[in-house]
Amino acid sequence: MSDHADILAMFSSFYPISAATFSEVEKLFDHRTNKKNEIILPVGNVPQYYYFLQKGLWEYFYLADNGDKVIKRFFQENSFVASTAALIQQAPSVFGISCLETGAYIRVPAKPFRELMMTNTELMKFQIAYLEKKWVVEKEPLEISLKYETAEDRYLQFIAEHPDLIPRLKLHHIASYLGVTPTQLSRIRKH
């Protein structure tokens, strides 16, 4: 096994992965770097890769009817990133992925990874555990928050849960994530 202990630890935080299984996954790794403002996945493209963000900060966004970027999620170091629904369906993604900082990541081609996953119960169990935690357990409270909490409550919750992100983000990023304008966010911050 190479120097991918951080990735193995991330996999194993969802489901224990053996060295043999991880060695098979490692064969698919393509190490890359990104520049600030680089687009990893343009809105409307059919995704072909999973990503593991090693260094940097990415945004996962969609474009509103008026053309404004709406940030759905931020990804930082040691995160798995993909437009999951579009990747599974092999359909154009309604979401885009872009880089807020210069960084480094590993790109994993989805087709061979999914083929490997279908023959390896450890990877199947990892995928199930990952999807349950990231796309069900963590997503539901956020959806409820967006519907029932005030923008001020959402802001206070965001800074409490992500204090490490605050110095790395511009106000318009946080405003977009919270579903408010930068002016509204400035007012909220004054309270």
**Percent of the chain's residues with pLDDT above 70:** 92
Residues 147 and 82 in one domain: no
Read off the CATH number of the domain in which 28 is found: 2.60.120.10
The pLDDT of residue 1 is 42
In a domain, 128, yes or no: no
- 138 vs 128, more confident: 128
Burial class (CB in 10 A: 0-12, 13-18, 19+), 43: middle
Cβ(34)–Cβ(99) below 8 Å = yes
Tens of pLDDT, residues 64-88:
999 999 999 999 999 999 999 999 9
Residues 75 and 162 in one domain: no
Domain count, the chain: 2
State the average pLDDT over residues 48-76.
96
Residues 83 and 30 in one domain: yes
Bridge pairing between strands 39-41 and 69-75: unpaired
Tens of pLDDT, residues 29-48:
999 999 999 999 999 999 99
Strand residues in the chain grouped as ranges (E): 30-34, 39-41, 49-55, 58-63, 69-75, 79-81, 96-99, 103-109
CA–CA dist 6, 183 (Å, integer): 39
What band does 182 get if pLDDT is binned at 50, 70 and 90?
very high
Tens of pLDDT, residues 147-157:
678 889 999 99
Residues 11 and 100 in one domain: yes
**Percent of the chain's residues with pLDDT above 90:** 78
CA–CA dist 132, 152 (Å, integer): 29
Residues 28 and 63 in one domain: yes
Residues 60 and 115 in one domain: yes
User: Domain limits at 112?
Assistant: 5-119
Residue 56 has pLDDT above 90, yes or no: yes
Mean pLDDT for all residues in the chain: 92
